[in-house]
Amino acid sequence: MSLVMGAIASVQVGAAIATTLFDELGPAGTVLLRTGFAAVALLLLWRPRLRGRTGNGLRDAVLFGLALAGMNLSFYAALDRIPLGIAVTFEFTGPFAVAVAASRRASDLLWVALAAGGIVLLSPGIHGSLDTTGTLLALLAGAFWAMYIVLAVRVGRAFSGGQGLTLAMIVATVVLLPSGIVAGGGDLGDPGLLAVGLAVALLSSAIPYSLEMEALRRLPKGTFGVLMSLEPAVAALVGLVALGQGLSANEVVAIGLVVAASAGALSAAGTPSPVEA
């Protein structure tokens, strides 16, 4: 659990810092710096070997990289339009779906209803000031997040340490190069922006993804998904403290419903069997 909580805190602080780059680099340029620096850091640390790898393992690493690219790009694009806490709440639909799908308890319908109530309260139709495009992008990021969880389990089994994650981050960087270069242009070479991008990469990618990979070796993906559902509350707190993003009463209640649903699902999950490494 401590690994997951450390990953949550790290990634949300990194997301708050990333928003300071949007004016110069845009979401796509910021994501490129994040994944690029993270790929370099992980490559220096793990130095993955391709020799002797099975085709299935390499395929899953590539798919993992595509999921990382899609998740990060859509989330940052959403973050450019809606507050951090709300963006993460919508994005959370992905891991919550994984957690519920992994369970067969009828009582989980209660937690699904609570979470759905929170999402409805946040929806643009109820809360008219919320950007519709930002909402849809955050939900898309949630779908990629669900793919990330499933693929991370497979990659964690196929590769030792962070080798699979390193390969996936390299794939994500290559995929993001065109859009990142177009969005960032010459500003991608600015030393000050590069320094901030490095900090974002470490806080939002290298550190949390490494912690999550280790957590996924010890926890079932369903339990992992429920633990990660604490992200909305942490994101709202970081958004308030670091970015001055206050929340309305409706938004506070909505995020509270999502977090309550997560706590209930975790309580009902009992003591799970660890995932095979």
pLDDT at site 128:
58
Q: Indicate if the pLDDT at residue 266 is higher than 70.
A: no
pLDDT at site 272:
36
- Average pLDDT score, the chain: 85
Q: Is residue 204 situated within a structural domain?
A: yes
pLDDT at site 208:
86
pLDDT at site 273:
33
Task: Tell me the pLDDT band of 77, cut-offs 50, 70 and 90.
Answer: very high
Contact 49, 37 (CB under 8 A): no
Task: Tell me the pLDDT band of 121, cut-offs 50, 70 and 90.
Answer: confident
- Domains contained in the chain, number: 1
Q: Indicate if the pLDDT at residue 104 is higher than 90.
A: no
pLDDT at site 271:
36
Task: Tell me the pLDDT band of 267, cut-offs 50, 70 and 90.
Answer: low
Contact 212, 7 (CB under 8 A): yes
Q: Which residues fall within 8 angstroms of residue 100, CB to CB, at 6 or more apart?
A: 108, 111, 112, 222, 265
Q: Is residue 93 situated within a structural domain?
A: yes
Q: Indicate if the pLDDT at residue 277 is higher than 70.
A: no
Q: Is residue 231 situated within a structural domain?
A: yes
Average pLDDT over every residue of 150-155: 88
Q: Is residue 35 situated within a structural domain?
A: yes
Q: Is residue 275 situated within a structural domain?
A: no
Average pLDDT over every residue of 213-239: 78
pTM recorded for the entire structure: 0.86
Contact 71, 145 (CB under 8 A): yes
Q: Is residue 274 situated within a structural domain?
A: no
Token readout for 198 is 């490095």
Report the percentage of the chain scoring pLDDT > 90.
Answer: 43
Q: Is residue 277 situated within a structural domain?
A: no
Domain boundaries, position 191 = 2-269
Q: What is the DSSP string of 73-141?
A: HHHHHHHTTS-HHHHHHHHTHHHHHHHHHT---TTHHHHHHHHHHHHHHHSTTTSTTS-HHHHHHHHHH
pLDDT in tens, 21-43: 999 999 999 999 999 998 998 89
